Structure 1
Amino acid sequence: MPRRTPYDDPRLVALRKLGREQGQVVSRKQVYGLGVTRWEVRGEVRARRWQLIGDQSVCLHNSELSDEGNRWAALFQGGPRAQLDGASSLVASGLERFSVDRVRVSVPRGVRVRRTRLFDIRQTRRWSADDLAPGGIPHTRVAVATVRAALWARTDKEATYVLTLVVQQGLERAEAIGEELLRVRRDRRRLLLHEVVNDLLGGARSIGELDVGRELRRRGLPEPSRQVLRRDRADRYYLDLCWPDLHLVVEIDGIHHSWAENVVGDALRQNALAIQGDAVLRLPLLGLRLEPDAFYAQIEDAMLAAGWRPAAA
């Protein structure tokens, strides 16, 4: 009888097929379940055909892990109820222009956690089986992952950025994120996230104008005229904040201004104002959250350039 080779061994054929579905990473339980022995695994590792990832995973090659393989290895290290969570779950769901240092995995409170420097595996009271997204690699639903990524972000700026990015890229609606945020009862960042989600919903326009007006008064800057009506060749429109005597306009932009369908209209309107002799400054609502001093300094500089002078103390 001819000797069986690794290419026609049904155990290894099944293992390679499973590996193709999991970024070439399989769990030890899966390996042993297919009939491959511990000694055979050790032999493949010694021959440098395979490599061990943590103490729960086997990679079926000896080169650099793919992102997908890294995620599966983190899940196997976390155990049977582990879920990709937070930013790691978002990246697995297709979020672009955002990266994570270590794969984040959540497990329920009270389970055994196998610590490793390779992955960020944490128990969390927020874990719920209902949060699991349907199909694919085990990961939390986008709305859940977005809220948690923002709660766990290193800074308020990063938290704001990830919320904005998810809505901009169409991974989830702001309404769904807001609904998920209502589940959060206690967190130091909860109020900030409510404000940002309100901005994303487009419901903060009037609130933003009032906030700007109060801040201008506090800084000793002149009061603007609000909702001034202007007309160009195509249509008429209202300006958010205007100082007609200074030929200065400040437009307060919600997140919807950065969406493709609004870019052309905003550009035409700004160009029309420039033709009429007005300087136009744009104040994103996100700017109010992240860099308020820089934006208000620009408003003051524009006023000074137009001839305004502060009242003598």
Structure 2
Amino acid sequence: MVSTFSDDREDPLGWLAFAQSGVLTTAQATCLLGPGVVRGRVRSGRWRSVCRGVLLTGNGRLTRDQQLWVAVLATGPRAVLAGATAAAEAGVRGLRREPLHVLVPATRRAGRTVLRRLPVDMVAVVVHRTSVLPRAHLQIARPPRTTTARALVDAAGWARTVDEAQAVLAAGCQQRRVTPEEIRAVVDALPRAHRRHLVHRAVDDIAGGRGGTVGDRLPAAVPATRPAPAGSPTPAHRRGRANPLAGRVLAGVGGARGRRATGSCASPPGSSAPAPTRSRTPSTAPCWRRAGTPEHESWTVPVPWD
């Protein structure tokens, strides 16, 4: 269901439903309409009971905005979106959309029974507790959420791996949704934050111009920094098709039934290096292994059966 703008400016229920994407708590609806009217609309099918204490002013499937409101309202008072969920709502792309992360103060506990009985069209909700949630870390939004800097710091701490944590921080800074100084200020306010030292190192690298870590993760088989010598072959495509733009290709990939042959690449003009040869002796070396000097390099590549 999509909430529509109410023409009646004196209708508080319409304005509240519009502000919360059609998701209300039972207490809100009862205060505005009364318990009898609310029960009648739910029993007649006009409204839908999503979970205990949360109603939908419609009977359709939940949209993305409604799922966010259900996660916040079902968790309880003072709950806000956090982590990757809040960062995605702030505009950071490439983050996980599920599950939904909600942050609550450490002085209260969320209703675990309610969150375990969500409908099938509602994604999973993960509730986190914190003892440090100042007003400066809260973003005025609908639904309420943490600031982008706090969301990225929390997402890095809740990430499954270290690489994912670094990727979250780099995405927020590279997409210009947050600055490294803002992330540092949040980390300084959280002395017990998970992966605190990792966040500091990652932010220092990003601020120093080394935020892109893709070059550091290239496989060793890819000569990323050293250009190939003149006349050297180009490794064959993973499916067996050689690069048609290459000057010379020694052999293609034969797949599981191919054999391996060792040969020398073509030497530059005027060089006394031997011509390419082929050996029928099987080799266990990988296809990207190289040996020799830049003037005369040998490649080991798999070739198909004759």
Check whether the contact 1:49–1:61 (CA below 8 A) recurs between aligned residues. yes
Equivalent residue, structure 1, for 2:16: 18
Which residue of 56, 60, 66 maps to 2:57? 60
The alignment yields a C-alpha RMSD, in angstroms, of 4.0
CA contact (8 A) 1:23 1:72 kept: yes
Residue 174 of structure 1 aligns with an amino acid whose one-letter code is P
Alignment of structure 1 residues 244-259 onto 2, 5 Å: none
Alignment-derived partner of residue 186 in structure 2: 180
Q: Which one of 69, 76, 82 corresponds to residue 79 of structure 2?
A: 82
Alignment-derived partner of residue 201 in structure 2: 195
User: How many corresponding residue pairs?
Assistant: 225
Per-residue deviation, residues 6-32 of structure 1 (Å, max 9, x unmatched): xx9x89943233212211111222212
Determine the C-alpha separation between the residues in 2 that align with 1:192 and 1:59.
Answer: 42
The one-letter code sitting in structure 1 at the alignment partner of 2:79 is A
Work out which of the residue numbers 94, 98, 102 in structure 2 matches 1:97. Answer: 94
Structure 2 gap ranges (5+): 1-5, 119-124, 231-267, 269-285, 299-306
Q: Point out 4+ residue stretches in structure 1 off by more than 4 angstroms.
A: 10-13, 240-243, 300-305
Deviations 1:267-291 (A, max 9, x none): xxxxxxxxxx9xxxxxxxxxxxxxx
CA change 1:147–1:84 in 2 (3 A) is same
Kept in 2: contact 1:143–1:172 (CA 8 A): yes
Determine if the alignment matches structure 1 residue 49 to structure 2 residue 46.
yes
Using the size of structure 1 for normalisation, the TM-score is 0.60
Distance 1:192 1:303, change over 3 A: farther
Q: C-alpha separation between the residues in 2 aligned to 1:50 and 1:12?
A: 21
Q: Secondary structure at the residue paired with 2:24?
A: strand
Secondary structure at 2:198 match in 1 = helix
- Pairing 1:136-151 to 2, within 5 Å after superposition: 136-151=142-157
**What is the alpha-carbon distance in structure 2 between the residues aligned to residue 127 and residue 18 of structure 1?**
26
Q: Are the counterparts in 1 of residues 54 and 74 from structure 2 also a CA contact under 8 Å? A: yes
Letter in 2 for 1:66: T
Question: Match for 2:206: what amino acid?
Answer: L
In structure 2, distance between residues paired with 1:305 and 1:54: 70
- Secondary structure in 1 aligned to 2:104? strand
User: How many angstroms apart in 1 are the aligned matches of 2:57 and 2:10?
Assistant: 10
Pick the aligned partner of 2:177 from 157, 171, 179. 171
| Residue 304 of structure 1: how far off its partner (Å) | 6.1
Contact 2:20-2:142 within 8 A present in 1 as well = no
Cα shift at 1:49? 1.6
Match of 1:131 among 131, 137, 141: 137
Given that residues 83 and 158 in structure 2 are in contact (C-alpha distance below 8 angstroms), is that contact kept between their aligned partners in structure 1?
Answer: yes
Identify the structure with the greater helix proportion: 1
Q: Larger deviation: 178-187 or 150-159?
A: 178-187
Q: Give, in whole Å, the separation in 1 of the partners of 2:225 and 2:109.
A: 57
